[in-house]
Every structure is written in structure tokens, then in C-alpha cells.
Structure 1
Amino acid sequence: MIDTKFLLLAVKSKHCAPSDYRLAKLLEVAKTTIYKYNNRFDKPNDITLSRISELLSVPSHVLYAAIHFERARDPATKLVWAEAYRIMGGPDIEKRLIEECFSGNEEELTA
């Protein structure tokens, strides 16, 4: 499932953003916000998710479902968001992003 780390790597790859500074500029957030995302202290808010959606040319509702799944604490809530993600076509969007952003560089996703 798409998560924050995946989204950040996809934006960096698709927009040739070699640094967190450049990524922060693309997302219109502070560099410290990128640090918080990378270290799992925070997740993107709805405004940032909309910006990521635009940069990756994907429907924002799929990203919202994925991040709500990531934020969820209890299994029942996770199940609801996982099902919403599936129904909205999340797996297909994820596959497309892997092909577009990481073709030949799949090891980036496991780093």
C-alpha cells in the first residue's frame, strides 16, 4: 500500500528532486516538515496530499485513503481504510506510480 515514504520518493523521482530541500519547495512545506515525514513523526495533511496528488497526477482520494490507513491505530479502522483504498483503485495507482517513478530503480523503495 502507498505510504508517506513511498509518496515522498515518488515525487522526488518524478520531479528530479535530489534533496529534501527541493522536495520541500515542490510540496510548499518547510524542510523540517520533510524531516518529520521521513522519520515518521508526522504524516502529510490534506493540503500537502492535494499537492502530492497534483505533482504525481493521481486522484487525491486514493492518497487520502492510504494516509488515513497509515494513521489508523486500531485494526478495525485500518480495515475500513484498506477496503476504501482497494475500492478506489489504490493498487492500480500504486502499480502505475512504481512504473512511472521507479522503473529500473525498484531498490529505492526498499531502502
Structure 2
Amino acid sequence: MDVVFDELHRRVKSYLATVKNVAAGGGDEAALVIARDDLPLIVDAFDALFGGHIPDDNGHCRQCHRAGRWWRRRRVPCRVFLQAQIALFHPTSHGRHALTRAEL
């Protein structure tokens, strides 16, 4: 792989792991700092990532459309958007389905 990509990937993974660990296991003050300082950055990153994943006039994802052949165009919601939806609303890291947890 590309050395620059490897370093960027490592930094993002490390940053997200740190935020996740502090939010899950840190004290209330540390979690508040994460919520105020880091959460807006993460939301901005999601906005930047999904900015191009919107439908064109034919209902195909504008971003994924560029990467594929015309006969294999992805409809919206595309895989990138679906993966984010699953990760956000149906997390598996807690061992239970998000809807089941909401019922408790």
C-alpha cells in the first residue's frame, strides 16, 4: 500500500479508537470534552464523506456512479451510505440489536 495512505489510515483509526475509549470508559468530564470538542469534528467528517453520495436525476449515487461502468451504477442508497446506516443505527459492538436495547 501507499505509505501516505497507511499513515493517514493509522492516524484516523487511532483517533477514533481514542475517542471511543474515552467516551465509553472515561469519566464524565472526559466524555463532555469529547462531546464538545471531537463530536463536531466527527460529524463534519461524516458530512464530507457523504457529500457526494446523493442521487442524480436517475436515482443513481453521484459518487459511486463515477467509479463504475454505466451498466453497474448503484442506486441510492449506495453501499457506502448503507454501511454507515448499519454502523450508526444497528451497532454490533454492544452485542445486542439497537432496537432491542431501546425496548429495555
TM-score (norm 1): 0.32
- Higher relative contact order (Cα pairs below 8 Å, separated by 6+ residues): 1
TM-score (norm 2): 0.33
The structure whose Rg is larger is: 2
